[in-house]
Amino acid sequence: MSEKSTLVVSKIKHGTVIDHIPAGKAMNILSVLGISGEKGDRIAIIMNVESEKLGKKDIIKIEGKWLEPRDFDVISLIAPSATVNIVENFEVVKKYKVSLPDRVEGLLKCPNMTCITNERNESIKTKFKVLSRDPLKLQCEYCGTIIYKDDIVKLTNYLKK
Amino acid sequence: MSEKSTLVVSKIKHGTVIDHIPAGKAMNILSVLGISGEKGDRIAIIMNVESEKLGKKDIIKIEGKWLEPRDFDVISLIAPSATVNIVENFEVVKKYKVSLPDRVEGLLKCPNMTCITNERNESIKTKFKVLSRDPLKLQCEYCGTIIYKDDIVKLTNYLKK
């Protein structure tokens, strides 16, 4: 076994593989997807392994789990380089590249507490316009508040509660 | 490949394997050890795999990382069943069983903000007595506040900041 091949996780039978995650971001991806492993999902995570494309990357494999369209958008906020593979009987049957939309709707809480989207009596879905993709910079369409890459995990999790 | 053998992570060359972690607790272990993968550590985590001893378990493998005595105590708070294996050249050269001490010193913040250990001008190390091991129940030796299993991650991380 060469040194490079250490920490390799073998194939899953049925499920989802999220590949080409920027190195060190796997935990953030799991966090925004609301996956902690506490519900019994069989998960493998490998972090900081060699990648031809990215230099280093993280990979997440989840047995028996399929993602929803919302999940693809939320992944694109943390890992715009990610690919999502659907595995059946140990074979990749579908392969998607996540893609950051021009508008991010209903996925992030606005950090401005006086923004109308934070008004309890209203039920307005948040909308952010993507001002810049790299580095990521978004703007609330209601109050103009700007948010950056490092705010994403906190603002995504906050919305789920 | 049988279904049971999926999600198996291959051996690491040099480093630490934390095995027999209660199913679903791997993320908590990484959190209390302050490991997020963002510093470039090569990490493999598998969650909810079959275990003869525990039914299901989690495993963490960290390439090129060795734990300190403090880490063993902090692991014992979350995963009293855990074993820690030291790997060199793909072979386990040492094997430890973590063990919850009778007193937990300097690892947890007391949640009682009026406790003397939270006084800014004092530098008193927190001390908790283990009242019960399963379920885990600890008592602050200074103010008598009781803490339980579910408080551990929050109170450990809080102290590091």
Q: What is the pLDDT of residue A5?
A: 42
* Class level of CATH domain A15-97: alpha beta
Q: What is the dihedral of CA B49, B7, B44, B79, to 10 degrees?
A: 0
Q: What pLDDT score does B3 carry?
A: 39
pLDDT of the residue at B161? 41
Q: Grade residue A159 by pLDDT with cuts at 50, 70 and 90.
A: low
pLDDT band at A1 (very low <50, low <70, confident <90, very high): very low
The CA-atom distances, in angstroms, between A5 and each of A2, A9, A54, B6, B10 are: 5, 10, 17, 17, 9
B90-148 pLDDT, tens per residue? 999 999 999 999 999 999 999 999 999 999 888 899 999 999 998 999 999 999 999 99
Q: Is B140 marked within a binding site?
A: yes
Residues of chain A positioned with their CB less than 8 A from the CB of B25: 37-38
- Per-position DSSP letters for B57-104, written without gaps between them: EEEEEEET----HHHHHHHHHH-TT-EEEEEETTEEEEEEE----SEE
Yes or no, beta carbons of B8 and A12 under 8 Å apart: no
B103-155: in CATH 2.30.290.10: no
Sorted by where each begins, the domain ranges of chain A are 15-97, 103-155
- Residue range A10-22: mean pLDDT, rounded: 89
Q: Are residues A12 and B7, on separate chains, in Cβ contact within 8 Å?
A: yes
Give me the residue from A7, A37, A56 closest to B48, CB to CB.
A37
B55, closest residue in chain A (CA to CA): A40
Cα separation of A46 and B57, whole Å? 17
pTM tops 0.90: no
This complex has an ipTM of: 0.81
Question: What's the gap in Å between the CA of A88 and the closest CA on chain B?
Answer: 12
Band of pLDDT at residue B29, cut at 50, 70 and 90: very high
